[in-house]
Amino acid sequence: MMTCIVGIDPGLSGGLARLVDSVVTTMPTPVVKTARRRSGSKTALPDYDLALMLGTLQLINPDLVVLEQSRIQKPGMTSRASVWMIGRGAGLWEMACAALKLRMMIVAPQIWKRQAGLLGQPKNAGLLRLKQWFPNQDWTGTKDGEWDAALIAATAAGYRVGNAEPLDRGVA
H or E element, residue 90 = helix 80-99
Residue 163 within a domain: no
pLDDT at 40: 65
Domain that holds residue 11: 4-36+44-156
pTM of the model: 0.87
Answer yes or no: is pLDDT of 163 > 90.
no
56 is a domain residue: yes
Grade residue 161 by pLDDT with cuts at 50, 70 and 90.
confident
CATH number, domain at 140?
Answer: 3.30.420.10
pLDDT band at 45 (very low <50, low <70, confident <90, very high): confident
In a domain, 113, yes or no: yes
pLDDT at 150 over 70: yes
pLDDT, one tens digit per residue, over 5-27 is: 999 999 999 999 999 999 999 99
pLDDT tens-digit map of 74-108: 555 467 777 778 889 999 999 999 999 999 999 99
